[in-house]
Structure 1
Amino acid sequence: MSERSGSLFQQALINGDYSPRFFAYYYKQWNNYKMQYHHHNSTEIMYLISGSCIVDVRQAKGSAESYSMKRGELIILDANVPHRLIVEEGTPCRMLNVEFGFTEYKGVAPSVGRLAREERVVEKLLDTPFSSLILPDPEEVYHVLKSLVLELDQRGADGGSMIDLLFCEMLLRIARLKEEKLRSSQQSTEFYVRRSIEFLHQNYDRSIQVKDIASAVSLHPGYLHRIFKIHTGRTITDYLNILRMEKSKMLLAKSDIPVAEIADYVGVSSRQYFHLLFKKYTGLTPVEYRNSIERHSWIYEDGESGNLGEDI
């Protein structure tokens, strides 16, 4: 790895031993400013101390992502990622910027690799590439950044043990914030998937489509489809079909509803399609299934008994 190689995502950082090298660190007040797209061979952290701004990030395929940032948020930009800052008139913002890369280990504080090997969240951060990442910060990273920049101002970019120690703390806190954001996002998606499943269990007897479920939980159908598959391992359609077939098995076993009417009870409009589905999921036709199970009997008050009907 060259001395000026500034990307966070180099396997050498995890496997080897490297220390941070700082290229720029400064506070800046921005107002009514539109920066041109640019990039540099260093990782950049932009911390929004006050106000609001927009950061545009150009992706590898040429498309751009626009991020609206507010006070207490930071954005991490990997090396050589084109980006620009936009600050609207009347909404000034104040930032703290730090740009860094990596150099051969100086043997003062723990190397980046040693930190990654001892802290799983740091290893995961360095082993999961991104072009940009926005994180909310409860001022944990900000306090470390302030101390780091003050130390750099006093000692210079080639600083000493305190600079390296503060960098390690900053990296660890960023890694933990990223992990917390991921967990929060997963908990949020789990909530929507749970609500979707509840909707299916309450409406399987009707003709429903993915767009109906998405509308009920206030999500885009495509996004709901993706998170549902991630959390359940099944598509929404497959989950609904299994649910309907389980209900069908219960009705065939526990009721005297005619087989020909079961499809309507579970929301399948075509009886022919219902038979095909049931055979696919159980290996039996509905009639074969009803005939294969132990039938329940009703005991009447006068002592007579009667088997459930075999209507079709």
Structure 2
Amino acid sequence: MDGILPLWKPKGMTSHDCVMKVRRLYKTKKVGHTGTLDPEVEGVLPICIGQATKIVQFLTDTKKEYIAELKLGTSTETEDDQGAIIEEASVTQFPSKQEIENVLQSFMGEIVQVPPMYSAVKVDGKRLYEYARQNQTVERPKRTVTIHAIAFLPTPKQKDNVIKFQVICSKGTYIRTLCVDIGKELGYPAHMSNLVREETGSINRKDTVDFHAIEEACHQELGHTLLLPITRGLTHLNSIHVDKDTKQKVLFGQKLNKPENFVHTSPFKVMHGSQLLAIYQIHPENSNEIKPIRVFSE
């Protein structure tokens, strides 16, 4: 069984919990998720099953869309509402709509983030949250991420000092940290009070199924009907199409001459009709050749 299970991850479960549950329901060990969501975050979590596990890295690299809420006036050690409060300030004048929009727009494009101490980023072979739990501080590596779009979403919750916004961002963006940084620009300590992932790549909320639907389908041995085709996780990659003879070479994992007038990005899909054969890239040592990264069996 091969395909992408478009799971709506519930609050209270880790991404690993979700993988383990899908393994049990689908009775297979070949299962992998495509981008960690914190336990208290819900939303789109594509789960790759069977041969689809070969595309995990490519689906993980796609843009993500979130609906986030940040609360002004308090910051926490975890940068969300799960941690202890470390700073408080009275919000005497809630920012105007224009002030909020101006600050949000200042985060457009490439930005530099410092990952939170309570995160899975590794420093000297040890995850940051492990240092944090031992009350140790270490220098955290800065990372450059991209904010592709960000927009203020007016809400009655403003009376609770809450700002709601939509953001489309690159892989590796910490929305918790983004909330803290937005708060600083507005002149207040802040933390992320809620987060929902609405989209990963081309897979969005309307595509998803919850565990209740998955359990029902698997009980009726219809779990396969919930899976999206592997190509659905690769819509951001260009394609080249090959004939029947070349198809066999691709399935054997052979290098090929780069097609004439090749203008595609690398990596890219290799297709025969509607069949996904492989993911190839331009050969790093010979720009006139293309070589396979992943090959899919028939």
- TM-score, normalised to structure 2, is 0.23
Greater RCO (Cα-Cα under 8 Å, separation 6 or more):
2
Pick the structure with greater CA Rg.
Answer: 1
More strand by share: 2
Higher helix share: 1
TM-score (norm 1): 0.23
